Structure 1
Amino acid sequence: MINIRVPATSANLGPGFDSLGIALDLYNKFSFEEISHGLEIIGALDTEEDSDNLVYTSMLKVFDAIGYKPKGIRINIDTDIPVSRGLGSSACCIVAGIMGANKMAGSPLSQEEMFKIATEIEGHPDNIAPALFGGFITSIMEEANIYYNKIDIAKGLKFVAIIPDFPLSTKMAREVLPTNIPYKDAVENVSRVSLLISSLSNGRFDLLKHALKDNLHQPYRGKLIKGFNEVLEKIYEFKALGGYLSGAGPTIMAIINEDDTNFKKEMESYFKSVNYNWKVIELNIDLDGAKVI
């Protein structure tokens, strides 16, 4: 049996739309086994047909690429990453399926080859790269090529996922974005991405509040999320270093000092006072990415 663990990811980090992503220590676990015949998937969503399961369809991409034909497949899925919450659940399934298929076939593909297949399935690498490689990663697609670079973050931070009790589909979050944006907005975002990367690398965490602002997606997607602006205000009221919309949302991510023991309690108390059944989870950066366990 093949056992694989894949971390959650948080993409964009404010201004880094479709280019920045970070892996966090919240995991889905998968087991794969070649059986005599058929397809068995345990732990998938009840609304999902086995043959359409993203883990399985990602496996098929690998089998087609390398010419491997399994007799049958059993997949067991143990999920801690919530679906459609902006924490990279789809990238997690894609990476797991590709790694599981590669291992089942005798590991003919390199990590870079798996990365390329996974990105082709997902359509962009911002979640795929950190899910596979771990850490904080910047990535771009240029025609058929994918380029990425892992960036070291200074010590002293924790991430806090503030997870609403409702999903937001990536499709809807994409549709709300404008076709064109003002030149000034684009320039501001480029400046903020530069400031964000340097702030995280150099430990200038006092600059994060300014660096995490965004013009490209948060103002539009925030309107789809009940309480978005109010929660962002509370994040800073409770002494967070920064806050941003995680991926397509609706999860809002706060960045706090690693020794801050009050933030989570204060957020939970606030949500109780306004009758929001939202979860607050403290997370650390995962530096390893997906791995066979």
Structure 2
Amino acid sequence: MTAASLIAPGRAVAVRVPATSANLGPGFDTLGLALSVYDELTVTTLPDRRVEITVTGEGEGEVPTDASHLVVRAIAYAFESCGRQMPGIHLSAHNTIPHGRGMGSSGAAVVAGLLAAKGLLAGDVELGPSMLLRLATELEGHPDNVAPALFGGLTIAWMEPDGPQSKKLLVHRGVSPLVFVPGFTMSTSAARELAPLQVTREDAVFNVSRSALLIAALTQSPELLMAATEDKLHQSYRAQAMPETDRLVQSLRAEGFAAVVSGAGPSVLVLADGPGKRLAAAELATRVTDTPWEALMLAVDVRGGTVRDYTEGSTGYS
């Protein structure tokens, strides 16, 4: 008997997944931070094999509304990986994570689909943290965004022969994230192609030292964030494709703000060591560039993605 026949029509789950910022300067493809911007969705099973999708907010009228939707693809991938047949579903998504801006929107969609599948399969198949991270990495291609989206906080992600691994760390309460989001987008794949396949030993050692220092700065010593966010592996190579982003990063750093490219860009992440400092950074941004930037004063999300039973009359969590 397949899981599709075991899941009654009308069963529903609600999912909430945070935005993420990867790399954080020197931690290329390794470090990620969960941020307090969220995509929220509900998935309800249907009596047949149809896929219905409604999208509001970010991506409305732009993302596909059929089985090629990334959330639906992730749900299907999870069911297939568990040897189960996906039922028909109605997906209702409200997105607030900006698309194509380096804030992990695709990773969040993948995680949202996998968590929805986890909720729907509860009681039949258990999708644990390791399995979720493996499936998410297979779909996304690398774990640096999906790990914080799944688990929250600051995550270190790495690959072992048996699959991706991650470690979650709590961020010092003095760290105050600020993200500048522009009106233009950047293709993650295009940005990745600009980073060189080989670097000098000196640059590699430079980034190893800064990545290690960044862990200390984010968890214990925020006053070290300026030095800790220096990078020689990817940001300077991508600057040619994002001149406005590079200009803002350099202007902020020149005034002592720990600014980096958020993920593949074009958004800019500032890791301020206090709320007052990020207000000053936001004010500076209005003076040093003609590009309009939306300043998002955010917190570090510590929970990561969540799923709960949303079936009428239920208050249970899976």
- Measured against the shorter chain, the TM-score band is over 0.9
Unmatched tracts of structure 1, length 5 or more: none
Q: Once the 2 structures are TM-superposed, how far is the Cα of residue 23 of structure 1 from its aligned partner?
A: 0.3
Q: State how far apart, in whole Å, the 2-side matches of 1:189 and 1:264 are.
A: 25
Q: CA deviation at 1:76?
A: 0.8
Matched, 1:176 2:187: no
In structure 2, C-alpha distance between the alignment counterparts of 1:188 and 1:70, rounded to whole Å: 48
- Pairing of 1:143-292 with structure 2 (within 5 A): 143-203=161-221, 205-236=222-253, 239-240=256-257, 242-260=258-276, 262-263=279-280, 265-267=282-284, 269-270=286-287, 274-292=289-307
Partner of residue 90, structure 1: 106
- Give the 3-state SS of the residue equivalent to 1:51 in structure 2: coil
The Cα of 1:174 is off from its aligned counterpart by 1.1
Deviations 1:203-243 (A, max 9, x none): 2x222111111111101112211323321233245553x11
Work out the percentage of aligned pairs sharing the same amino acid: 34
Q: Which letter maps to 1:253?
A: L
Figure out how many residues of one structure are paired with residues of the other and give that number. Answer: 289
Superimposed CA distance per residue, residues 186-212 of structure 1 (whole angstroms, 9 cap, x where no aligned partner): 011001111111122222x22211111
Q: Would you say 1:11 and 2:22 are equivalent positions?
A: yes
Deviation of the 1:34 alpha carbon: 0.2
Partner of 1:52: 68
The DSSP-based 3-state class of the residue aligned with 2:67 is helix
SS at structure 1 position matched to 2:143: coil
Find the residue that maps to 1:235 and give its secondary structure: helix
Q: Please, what TM-score do these two structures have when normalized by structure 1?
A: 0.93
Contact 2:175–2:218 (Cα < 8 Å) also in 1? no
Aligned to 2:150: 132
Task: Give the Cα separation in 2 of the matches to 1:226 and 1:141.
Answer: 32
Task: Please tell me the residue identity of whatever aligns with 1:149.
Answer: K
User: Which residue type is aligned with residue 61 of structure 2?
Assistant: D
What secondary structure is seen at the aligned counterpart in 2 of 1:227? helix
**8 A contact 2:159–2:165 mirrored in 1:** yes
Letter in 2 for 1:207: L
RMSD value over aligned CA atoms?
A: 1.8
Q: Trace 1:20-99 onto structure 2 (pairs within 5 A).
A: 20-37=31-48, 38-43=50-55, 45-49=60-64, 50-99=66-115
Residue pair 1:239, 1:263 contacting (<8 A) in 2 also: no
Runs of 4+ in 1 over 4 A off after TM superposition: none
2:272 and 2:184 map into 1 onto residues whose CA distance is 24
